[in-house]
Amino acid sequence: MIAPAPVRGELIGQHASIQDLRRLIAKAATSPARAVLIYGETGTGKGVVARMVHQLSSRAGNEFVDVNCAAIPANLLESELFGHERGAFTGAVGKKVGLIEAANKGSIFLDEIREMDHVLQAKMLTVLDTQRFRRIGSVRPIEVDVRFIAATNKILLSEVKAGNFREDLYYRLQVVAINVPPLRERGDDIFVLTDHFLRVLSERYHRVVKGLTPEVASIFRRYRWPGNVRELENLLERIFALEEDDTIKAHHLPVRIHRTLSGDDPEELNGRPNGPLDFHQATAEFQRQMLREALRTAEGNQGIAAKALGLTRHALRHQLIKLGLR
């Protein structure tokens, strides 16, 4: 059964780790702490957690400003955060209000904070301690009331020891720390999330995909999902965009997933229910899947498919004939 859509910013899932995470978010949101640090692998939903911290707090009626520190060049990030006065530097043709000032009375989310350089880290520490800063080119301090929510996919203490992150800023941010669990540790939440994304994508693509075959469900359960929730969502949308079946089957999945699980039961990986396969049969099935995927990606162009597989065109044709796919 496809679950109803959650409200914006809600975590999807019923696993115990997610229930614990919701409780911790609520405590962090209602605490007086001016800084919250979110840990989590890429794609786990750190941005969702940051928005929840804001939405469940007394600041919810004010601005939530989202800044990806890794996406803005280091020489521009300071100006984006603090703003500048006219003439502060070449190209500063007018006054600019910075993102910290724009977040006054609300929250600012500093994603991938590890990517800040040391000079900017020192300035951020001052703002956290005093809630005051100066625009570039100004001598007048500006006072703000902002909650700083930072996120990283790195172990910051290790970054401190390696000299990549300021120790004093680390301890200032670490007062309230939240860890977002990876998808592989969330059990059957993989299917709760799948149902949710299928519902959303069905509306977007104006067609219904009912769910997963048992073979694909087994693959989903055993796959490690290195890209986490984002990888799952992108995979399902790719299938919606490229396939026409009303059920997700094993041959719809990318070769990399089958390759990752190639040491497991090949019957489950290739959707073959009729009896066990020996080693040679399993290998042939895996090769067929790779060839199908390469040709599908290349839209049937054998030259492009051969190049992607590291084969000559002649070798690809030979394999197609050998495996009964021609």
pLDDT in tens, 313-322: 777 877 777 6
Cβ partners under 8 Å of residue 60, min gap 6: 54
Contact between residue 222 and residue 215 where contact means Cβ atoms under 8 Å apart: no
State residue 269's pLDDT score: 40
Topology of the domain covering 275-326: Arc Repressor Mutant, subunit A (1.10.10)
Both tokens of residue 120?
């900017």
226-231: list long-range contacts, CB under 8 Å, 24+ apart.
226/41, 227/42, 227/43, 228/41, 228/42, 228/43, 228/44, 228/45, 228/182, 228/183, 229/43, 229/44, 229/45, 229/183, 229/193, 230/42, 230/43, 231/43, 231/183
Q: Residue 298 above 90 pLDDT? A: no
Sign of the four-CA dihedral 275, 220, 310, 263:
negative
State residue 116's pLDDT score: 94
d(CA 110, CA 70): 10
Instruction: Give the rounded percent of residues in the chain with a pLDDT score beyond 90.
Output: 64
Span(s) in the chain for CATH 1.10.10.60: 275-326
Q: Residue 1 above 70 pLDDT? A: no
State residue 183's pLDDT score: 96
State residue 318's pLDDT score: 75
Both tokens of residue 245?
């079946």
pLDDT in tens, 12-42: 999 999 999 999 999 999 999 999 999 999 9
State residue 281's pLDDT score: 59
State residue 263's pLDDT score: 54
Contact between residue 47 and residue 107 where contact means Cβ atoms under 8 Å apart: no
Q: Which residue has the higher pLDDT, 286 or 238?
A: 238
pLDDT in tens, 225-271: 999 999 999 999 999 999 989 999 999 999 989 988 875 434 434 44
d(CA 128, CA 186): 34
pLDDT in tens, 123-179: 999 999 999 999 888 889 999 999 999 999 988 888 999 999 999 999 999 989 999
State residue 279's pLDDT score: 55
DSSP character at residue 3: P
State residue 273's pLDDT score: 40
Q: Which residue has the higher pLDDT, 52 or 85?
A: 52
d(CA 29, CA 325): 57
Both tokens of residue 262?
């190639």
Q: Residue 288 above 80 pLDDT? A: no
Rounded to an integer, the average pLDDT of 95-103 is 92
State residue 283's pLDDT score: 66
* Range from 181-190, 282-291, 310-319 carrying the lowest mean pLDDT: 282-291
| Architecture of the domain delimited by 16-181 | 3-Layer(aba) Sandwich (3.40)
Confidence of residue 7 (pLDDT cuts 50, 70, 90): very low
d(CA 296, CA 243): 10
Q: Residue 75 above 90 pLDDT? A: no
Strand 142-143 with 83-84, pairing? unpaired
Span(s) in the chain for CATH 3.40.50.300: 16-181
User: Helix, strand or coil for residue 40?
Assistant: coil
Highest mean pLDDT among 72-86, 174-188, 261-275: 174-188
